[in-house]
Amino acid sequence: MKIIGIEIIPVRLPLTEPFVISYGTFPDVESALVRIETDSGHTGWGEATPDPHVTGETFGGVVETLKVIAPALLGRDPHDRTAAMRAVDARCGGAPTAKAALDIALHDVLGRITGLPVWALLGGRARDHLTISRVVSMKAPDAMAADAMRHVAAGFRTVKLKVGDFNNPRQDVQRVAAVREALGPETRIKIDVNQGWRTSGVAIAAARAMAAYEPEYIEQPVDWRDLEGLADVRRACGLPIMADEALHDARDALRAVQLRACDLINIKLMKSGGLLGALALNAIAETAGIVCQVGTMVESSIASAAGLHLALALDNVHTVEMGGPLMLAEDIGPLRNHYNRDRVTVPSGPGLGFEPDEAVIARFAGQRTWIRA
């Protein structure tokens, strides 16, 4: 059995409303879809959803990178996932988001070949279901409070607040205060700064001011390059610290462990190069006693399902934020139907568990590229 073709499909999917975080506003989701074909007639789907502020990859760059690295899979047996991804790595250094699409597609097609869901390929199921939180875009304090109340009314018990105003961190504190006042003490609140406070000094002051509102943690308060600064914030602010943009792969995780830079790690397939890289990162974290979250770049059902399969398989994953399908006005898969309040069930079929909607893909697709043996 071997891979005989790979299709690359760039798509732009509309969001229900613009997504606002500290470094930008995103009106839609730009993804490069990948479809793998085998000589047995099995297919597998993957997705690359880039964010240049996180991995340095752009939408157009990911599409072009895939044209360079995808041919490394031609003629390979999908059962040999590790060897296949090493061949991909040999074509190009870096580019974790582009590589994630191929890694996800390999797992999907192997699941379809074997009749197993992806979580089974990753070692088995650690739990029966997953609970997620909803993200609140960075807005004025009252608007964020209203959005948070809407999510809680829909059945979500945890909300994640996007903040990160370097020039006015006091308003970030006001944002958190407004949400806490609106929701009361029962709802869990998480804070995501997306590097917005930049320096440890600003971050420590802002985090200390937020402590009274009892957030579960502060995520990535400083610039991604400043792991030492992240460690300083962790020591000084009195709140748990989650690393996101600062950690991509197992090497980054090892350095964070050595510096004692964080209490939690946000694993994202688009940072780790896919599921295999995520497993390696989690192994470092778990050995060091650091719990993990599986997060999202606001991906469609394809990459979101892959993240959910990962979270289902890893006992060390304590929180999940795979809410991309809930933020899309139109999706290319059925995952939205698997959410019930703040619970989500993982599709049960082979591979990722579903067939993407080709009619929706066709409506939002750009120029397609086929790579054949």
Nearest CA-CA partner of 329 in 354, 295, 364? 364
Ramachandran angles phi, psi of 345, nearest 5°: -100, 140
Q: How far apart are CA 66 and CA 30, in angstroms?
A: 15
Dig out the tokens for 119 from the structure. Answer: 């979580």
The catalytic residue positions are: 162, 192, 219, 244, 268
Nearest CA-CA partner of 50 in 103, 108, 104, 95? 95
Q: Please state at what angle helix 96-114 crosses helix 59-69, rounded to 10 degrees.
A: 60
| Helix (H/G/I), strand (E/B), else coil: 23 | coil
DSSP state of 10: E
| Helix (H/G/I), strand (E/B), else coil: 325 | helix
| Helix (H/G/I), strand (E/B), else coil: 188 | strand
Q: How far apart are CA 162 and CA 172, in angstroms?
A: 9
First-last CA distance in the chain: 13
* Side chain identity, residue 125: R
**Residue 256: exposure state from Cβ atoms within 10 A (0-12, 13-18, ≥19):** buried
Q: How far apart are CA 354 and CA 30, in angstroms?
A: 21
DSSP bridge pairs for 37 = 5, 43
Ramachandran angles phi, psi of 131, nearest 5°: -115, 130
